[in-house]
Structure 1
Amino acid sequence: IRVATYYCWAKLHREGEQGLAEGLELLAGLIERFGAQLHPQRDRSRKAALEWLAGSRMTDSLSLYPEVVREEAERTTGALLLIAQLTENEPDGIRPELNVLYGALESRLQKAGGVDAVVPQNASTSETPSTAGHSDAPPIGRITSGQDLLAQARTLTEYLREQPDGWLSAHHLMKSLRHDTLRSIPAPDAQGRTRIEPPRADQRALLKRLYLQQSWAEMLETADSTFSRGANHLWLDLQWYIHQALTKSGQDTLADIIAADLKGLLTRLSGLETLAFSDGTPFADEVTLNWIKQDVLDPMGGWGNDTPSAQMAAGNDDILTLEPEAVTLADSEGLDAALVWLQNRPGITTARQQWLLRLLMGRLAEQYGKNELAVHLFAELGERAGEVRLSDWEPDLLFEVWARHLKLLRIKAGRSEADKARLTPVMDTLLAELIAVDPARAAVLCG
């Protein structure tokens, strides 16, 4: 029995689940054919030999092959079922317990999207032992599994990227396989966490570094490549990075296409953006979630499109013209540096100038995902509006402040019933103020 279990592990480690299935079928056949004649014949030693299958060495090797192929999974399950049936009549004390192996296989299956997934949901992140030294894609022929499909797709996308203006077609090919084949959102627990493995820490760190360095071309390439690996197609921050890279490099049309693609996905799989990976890392962090709600899904009916007119209504005010410079500083050195730079601007003396400076800080805080800071800034601006009599001569700016404040509170209220109950009176007051300033524009904010 020990030789057979070692053989199962060796086959798994070298060949993946196909090897595991073959090894388990051999073990099941030996037990069925020879039964008690197999060594070791002492009950406890026999039990330990079989339970070696549920040890860490087996589960570690299994983790190297995250993709699930239906036929191989069925063979593995069938062999384990036969082993369980052959040992079920043994006394409790000597019956082998393989629950750890069952749990590992079940978890792997769920992470991969189930046996009916067209494309593995949790694609491998690197070459496995069986493919090292060989081409990533099998020879062109009949595709027999989602794993084969992904391997061929990676080869095709590499070719397309090398062609003139081939990035979009390459991106859409992989996105079509990884997003369009999703039929439902991964099952979450009560806290919204799924069993999906999170992105690697080095992947997150690299993208953040490239963003701070403003290396847009490299950031686009890195995000696109990361998307095809692991379960990173569910990491919606990648869509934000891709959108940012395209926008910052002047490719606004392609950026709009990315946003439209994401809107289609989130419309079809409602609630996907609210879920988290197994360690609690959200599919979409605060910055991405804010971008989704404000620019992708646009639940406010487009009130933000009126913001430029509010800025124009401010006339030649020098404070609001500082926004592009502050954004550049925030991109390169971080939001905190930009806020300190604004705070230390000379000549900010009047109540109106201080109010406009806070407005600019609130815009930046919201744009960079500091929603709590933005909420407090907009609340203060609303309270101080009377000091500068904005309702009389600059209603557009006041409307902007209240609308931004309302939008952020609605996002916060959507997180829990307690927040919703606490914030509803404040949101009702803000909506009433908006209607009083401009009923026509406020109409789109009425739910």
Structure 2
Amino acid sequence: MQQLDSELGQCAIASHPADHDPREGELYAALQAEIRRLSSMHAAGMPDWPRVALLAQRYLREEAKDFSVACWLLAAWLYTEQGAGLVAGSRVLADLHRYAWDEMLPPRLRTRRNQMEWLAEQIERFMAADQDLSPIEAEAHAVLLADWRAIDEIWQTRDDEISPVMGILRRLAQWPVQDAGLDAQEEAVVATLEETEALPVASPATGPVETAETRVTPFTVPRPDMDDDAAPEALERALDQVMDAMDGPLEAGVRLYPQVALWYRLNRVRVWSGIEQVPPAQQGVTRIPAPQERQREQLAQRLAGGEQHALLQYAEAQLPTCRFWLDLNRAAHVALHALPECQAAAGAVARETSALLARLPGLEMLAFSDGTPFADDETRHWLAGLMAQSSIDVSAPGNAFPVATPTHRTEAVPAQATAGMVALATALAGATAQAESAQTLLASALSRLHDSAQQVARYASPEHQPS
């Protein structure tokens, strides 16, 4: 176990000559070389995280206050020390925000934003891949969330765009807490959500009895914050915000009512609708990082285990962070096809996957940066069967959302948001009495999505377009 120096963010650094550039030194070059292994087509495996941690600590202690290096350190400690590393690394990053925002490297806000988004991806990948996260003590968990709230507050005063921190904060609120009851865990989650409102649950007479396994943490779909002269980029960010906020409703829907096809359509719409072309590749190998080994192992175990609900929930949960891992769609289809009441849902997975391949021919033949195929042999066989049976028209209503191309992306944005609202409303209105609890569960999300869609459509109307 490494020593976790959580005070690196506020320790003093020895003075250097005026022309000293810490990013030109050997330490930074060595760190960059390790981190680039995540995206390099030629590097084997993951970064040497223990080495990254040692180099990053030395750099922050001796060279400079550096936002990127602090993010790399947090990721390294997360991968090597789990919860303890997460808490310590978050304190280092929070202290840099508190005490060194103006002088820390890199100076450009956009570069810092990109680095924060990279860190968010690492946290999401780690938490999604590891189903047995080591619990954090309740007090340490409270400190962790307090540090990230402080980071978010500082970020909002410096950046006019939507804060990239709230997604991290919401995700970390879900980390298991040691010696904390379910109520305490829920309080931690709720405290991180903006304008959180408790949703009513079904009574025993009208829906399933609420238990620890079926209780759903309250969630909201945030309202996009846009001005009357919102630019196309703001409209896209607003739509992305709505898409990201579907995590809670979709997770709950798959877990409580797996027979509802809508969950699987929406999950794939939000994950795939922004993919406009086949990823660049050299000899079939892309620069996209592969799923982690334990993710692949856990999927294989669930496929072999025969517990269809566990397989289904795992596959759907991994899809947002592994959108090119086509094996997940076969796994979801296998699970749904094995459940007699879920045949319509299985068809939805097949249709959405067919639509993706019809739009991006050859996608299934590509591989991740380490050579792992997007689709293994069994998945390719399954996909070939789908494409042979399907004469799907991807522009037909109900098959998939309209896909934005570079030439008409702005025009497609309001249509996508409105289509999502209509699909959600229609499905819930036509749900069976057995899904009445799901309607209640999603009432708040539906209302917010409706408002968001109207707002996006209004700002994309002709009177708001530049002349």
State TM-score, norm by structure 2: 0.40
Higher relative CO (Cα under 8 Å, sequence separation at least 6) belongs to: 2
Structure of higher CA gyration radius: 1
